[in-house]
A and B are shown apart, each in its own frame.
Chain A
Amino acid sequence: MRLPDVFCARRIARSLMATCGLCGAILGAGLLLDTGIPAAHAVIPNLTRAEIIARAETGIGAMYSWGRESWTPNLGGGLGPDCSGYTLKCWEVPRTLLYQEEDGVNASIPLRYTSYEFFNCLGPWYALSSRSLLREGDVLVKNNGTSGHVVIYAGGDAWNSPVVYEAPGTGLTVRRASTYLNSEYQPRRRESLLESGIILDNPTAVSTGGSDVGGNWTRSTSTPGWYGDDYQVRAATTATSWARWTPRFPSTGYYNVYLRWTSGTNRASSALVHVNTATGQYKRYVNQQINGGAWYSLGRYRFNSGYGTGSGSISIFATGANGYVVADGVMFVPTQ
């Protein structure tokens, strides 16, 4: 069977890339890796730091499984990813961010990134010159050629025991933990990273009947005004269908909550939204036929620090709607 030309070209390109990386390492060209200048790689979606952390939270409790890269979000159990698979999902590289196994999508990607590629900057990320520059959503990685480990930096002590998200190893579950990481662990930063506040774009929305579980929420760019790279849309249905964003709140307090969509005459005029807080659930209705392409205020609410799907999240429902429902993004702004 003759291979498609694009497949061969990709393999050659990868070989050249790997050769260059190895040569760089052999010749001690650490300076080239530490310049902080992103190298040219395939285009990946824009992502906020809050999205990386929110995505990482959904995997906690999933059982480490070598070679896997997926998990059922917020399950607190079941088969999970290995360390690099976990990071790939949270970073949305190379180009998709589905929770479940992606055979249909990844079949065109012959090699999956591992800690080797993270360590040697053979992907859409780059090295930081110092661990003191780490910010949440960056990663720390080590690889000695035969084994490696990569963790997502969440904050705390950069050189001693930073708080990280990691899929540690066989028999252990994905966790958020303080882990002593020695100087072998090098800092890396994703390209196309948005330095915004707490904004969760549509790929971060966990949904029932959504695209992340192979359902009917679909990504679209048909109507302008979306945040990030696209938006997620669902036709009205009588079946259970919701999309939910859950950030990790850095501190307890009040936050102004904003929702975003792209408007059109075929949209729902009263889409149901739940604001889930530690003190209760608040129902709101939004008219998505107007106010598209802007952050629409849902009000001011108090949230506790940490991550809680039932106590610190926003849900939007296509169930029982009277038109298409758009789940594009949410934004949380701390306030007094």
Chain B
Amino acid sequence: MFRSLKRPQGLRSVWPGRRPAASGSREAERGRRRAKPRRQIGADVARRRRARFAALLSSLAGLGLCALAGCALFVPGFALGAEQPATTTTLTSPEDAASIVAGAPPVAPAAGSGGLELVTLPWGDSDGQVGLESPGEGLTRGPEALAIAPDGRIAILDSVNRRVVVLDREGAWTGTIPVTLAAPRFLAADDCCIHVLDCDADRRLLTLTWEGASLADMSLPALDDVVTGLFATVAGPCVEVAHGQVMLLSPEGALEAVGVHDPGVSKRESAKAKSRTMAGRPLDTGLDRVAKATFSPQAGLCVELFKMDADRSRASQIAEIGPALARGRAVEHLVSVDGDVEGGLIVGMRLVESDAGPDAPGGSKPSLMITKLDAEAFSSATRSSAALSAEALSTEAPVLFLADPTYAYVGTPYVVAPDGRICQPLPTPEGYSIVVHTFLEEATR
């Protein structure tokens, strides 16, 4: 089930399945403008078509050159062959990477929110690699989920290869766990186990140990809408539906004792899950706090915090945080709300283009703004004492800016590690990287 592996040496990029067509190739052209079965045409017609095509190419080339010349004349800084701006800073030593996930003080990034590259896994289906699939006409997708346990271990849902890749907290390849799901999309983990959810094809949720043993196999109950999140808690996995409803799942007949933390519980085969509605999405694996977030362009952002009772049967509101989180910038949408071990709150928002973050060294324009609120900052913002002071938030909360991953679909733009660090899955032609960001106030002021 679980294969322990040495860290591979000399990794190289291998593309599984259908290789993306080389630019300009016949296949690439087919991908751009796929034709129905061609008619049989005579040689003279083919000649005329080639001539027309050549003429078209010539005119296009001419137009392209004119446009480039125009850009060179009128666009400041425009130059052919200019390198793409670097968005990450590579670690200088393995010790630096270890410190990022293990919780030691981070190595400061070179500039802004550049982050530190923990690991890069080349594309492929072998050991030391993760899968990428580019169907040409469809979703170019890499690993669709990433989860980090409180102890720093990392799980990557290598959905193309239908497996979970396990890295240690230093980013070293540990092994893989096969996943018997047709379309796994969501992943959550704590120190004890890993949850994998296929909410589309099989509609099953698997619970596995980090060593690959199966602890539970639940059928997903009927849901009112689509799944938008999966969380690991001591009481069992929680599924978020349509960014609103959150349900604690457990196998039939054992509502509270999900058993994943009880070594005496045996494997359950496809038991139908029972669900219990929660007040919001969990902010920690202990299920002490949950949050409910809403956003609309008119009303702005609102996050309600609830504290769960000891038996997790009731939740009482402890704070309500208003729209001041964006520091006066225009927010296009809420991206995520997460907690950290210190009781803080981490809120990610997408900014409208004109309010996007400061230029990175290369001039790129990050559009995601992530704000961290310390527990003390909103401990007094109870429902009765109105919303948290906008002024306090706008001057105290550290922020960082991220750009969207664009090369391939990786499920989410970032994941918050339990210690509050931001782990960004970053797909590039070279492979799948995990870049770790920290909140450094001096980098954002």
Give the B-binding residues of A (Cβ under 8 A).
1-3, 12, 15, 18-19, 22-23, 26-28, 61, 64, 66-67, 82-85, 106-107, 109-112, 114-117, 132, 145-149, 156-161, 163, 166-173, 175-180, 182-184, 305-306
Contacts and interface: CB of A to CB of B under 8 A. Distances in A.
Contacts of A177: 185, 199-200, 226-227
A163 B141 contact: no
Contact of A111 (B17, B36, B139, B333): B36
Contacts of A23: 60, 63
Contact of A84 (B21, B137, B183, B412): B137
A117 B411 CA distance: 26
A150 to B, nearest CB: 8
A15 B52 contact: yes
25 contacts: A1-B42, A1-B45, A22-B60, A66-B135, A66-B137, A67-B34, A112-B36, A114-B32, A132-B332, A145-B32, A146-B21, A146-B31, A146-B32, A149-B137, A149-B138, A158-B333, A160-B333, A168-B138, A168-B139, A169-B139, A171-B183, A176-B226, A177-B185, A178-B227, A182-B404
Nearest to A106: B36
Contacts of B64: 26
Given A64-B135, A66-B137, A170-B18, A182 B31 contact: no
B406 A112 contact: no
**Prevailing SS type, chain B contact patch:** loop
A26 B64 CA distance: 6
Interface string B328-345: 000011110000000000
A117 B34 CA distance: 10
B310 interface: no
A83 B137 contact: yes
Contacts of A305: 224
Contact of A147 (B20, B52, B297): B20
Given A18-B33, A84-B137, A149-B139, 6 more contacts: A82-B135, A106-B36, A146-B23, A173-B200, A182-B406, A184-B404
A66 B136 contact: yes
B40 interface: yes
A132 B56 CA distance: 37
A112 B34 contact: yes
Contacts of A107: 36
Contacts of A106: 36
Contacts of B137: 66-67, 82-85, 114-115, 147-149
A170 B406 contact: no
A146 B35 contact: no
A156 B242 contact: yes
A145 B23 contact: yes
A266 to B, nearest CB: 39
Given A146-B20, A159-B332, A170 B133 contact: yes
A1 B41 contact: yes
Given A170-B135, A173-B201, A184-B406, A132 B183 contact: no
B294 to A, nearest CB: 11
Given A15-B52, A19-B56, A163 B225 contact: yes
A305 B222 CA distance: 13
Contacts of A112: 34-36
Contacts of B141: 168-169
Interface string B1-44: 00000000000000001101101000010011111101111100
Nearest to A156: B242
B176 interface: no
Interface in B60-83: 60, 63-64, 67, 70
B200 A109 contact: no
Nearest to A131: B332
A15 B18 CA distance: 29
B21 to A, nearest CB: 6
A76 to B, nearest CB: 10
Among B41, B201, B367, max chain A CB count under 10 A is at: B201
Contacts of A157: 243, 333-334
B99 interface: no
B429 to A, nearest CB: 12
Given A110-B36, A170-B18, A180-B411, A83 B63 contact: no
Given A163-B225, A168-B141, A1 B40 contact: yes
A23 B67 CA distance: 9
Given A3-B41, A160-B335, A173-B201, A147 B36 contact: no
Contacts of B17: 170
Given A112-B34, A147-B20, A180-B412, A170 B200 contact: no
A159 B141 CA distance: 19
B180 to A, nearest CB: 14
A167 B334 CA distance: 26
B406 A163 contact: no
A154 B204 CA distance: 24
Contacts of A1: 40-42, 45
Nearest to A60: B200
A140 to B, nearest CB: 12
Contact of A163 (B21, B45, B226): B226
Contacts of A110: 35-36, 38-39
Contacts of B33: 18, 111, 114, 116-117
A114 B34 contact: yes
Contacts of A28: 67
Contacts of A182: 404-406, 413
A280 to B, nearest CB: 19
B138 A116 contact: no
Contact of A3 (B45, B60, B409): B45
Contacts of A117: 33
A22 B137 CA distance: 19
A175 to B, nearest CB: 4
